[in-house]
Amino acid sequence: MRQAREPEAVIAIVDDDPSVQRGLGRLIRSVGWKAETFTSAQEFLARPSTEAPSCLVLDLQLPGLSGLDLQTRMAEVGLETPIVFLTGHGNIPTSVQAMKAGAIEFLTKPVDEKDLLRAIQEAIERDRRTRQQHATMRELRDRYESLTAREQEVMRQVISGLLNKQIAVELKITEDTVKFHRGHIMRKMRADSLADLVRMAENLGIRSRHLPART
């Protein structure tokens, strides 16, 4: 497990009970992660806007804003930090709600060390995946943005499966020009094949052109 961890993983603990706060904090630090503790949901939301933590260990019963409330609030602001819920006395409806809303795990106090650490680990991995996806998308979007308007237009025709000739007619340009644009597109998008380009377009949410009726 030790080898799997990211050196800079930060775990946020939100619990209003000092015993729990200190105990959990210490346990997490003993594994090698960084622990940040908060006594209320409000305090967590008001934390200095540094890098988001990799995981949030969240008590369900909090004074003021409850754990579930915080989960909802985070979803609203687009904070995707995975959550591990802790509760003194879990009940099924609450846990179902929390899980449906994307929680990693729903653990009952006093929590088993192994369960908690495994859940946190899972959260960290999910967080890393999410971050990677975000990075990939960002990269892809940057590449697409680097295309000229004409190239983007040609790309839309290309992924629609039109032949160079057809594209030429459609855009009222010569076939050579189409080929020229096509080469640029493949290079700039770093696409190995047309299939690759189509997948990228799909990821980018670019729709193929609506095909005109053929006579």
Give me the residues that bind another protein (CB under 8 A), please: 16-17, 19-20, 22-24, 26-27, 29-31, 61-63, 66, 86, 88-89, 109-113
Cβ pair 179, 189 in contact under 8 A? no
Work out how close the CB of 180 gets to another protein at its nearest, in angstroms, rounded to a whole number: 30
Residue 151's SS3 state is: helix
Output 23 or 147, the one with its CB closest to another protein: 23
- From the CB of 134, what's the least distance to another protein, in Å? 32
Distance CA 80, CA 107 (A): 20
CA-CA-CA-CA torsion for 128, 131, 137, 138, nearest 10 degrees?
A: -140
| Smallest separation, CB 61 to another protein (Å) | 5
How far apart CA 16 and CA 21 sit, in angstroms, is: 7
Query: What is the closest distance, in whole angstroms, from the C-beta atom of residue 14 to another protein in the complex?
Result: 14
CB of 82 to another protein, least distance (A): 20
Q: In Å, what is the CA distance from 34 to each residue of 74, 84, 153, 194?
A: 21, 16, 48, 45
83: enclosing H helix or E strand: strand 83-87
- Output 1 or 50, the one with its CB closest to another protein: 1
Q: Among residues 19 and 50, whose Cβ is nearest to another protein?
A: 19
3-state class of 16 per DSSP?
coil
Q: Tell the smallest beta-carbon distance from residue 19 to another protein (Å).
A: 3
Cβ closer to another protein: 2 or 51? Answer: 2
Report whether 94 contacts 87 (CB < 8 A): yes
Contact, 16 vs 59, CB < 8 A?
Answer: yes
Q: Which is nearer to another protein, 88 or 161 (CB)?
A: 88
Nearer to another protein, 29 or 207 (CB): 29
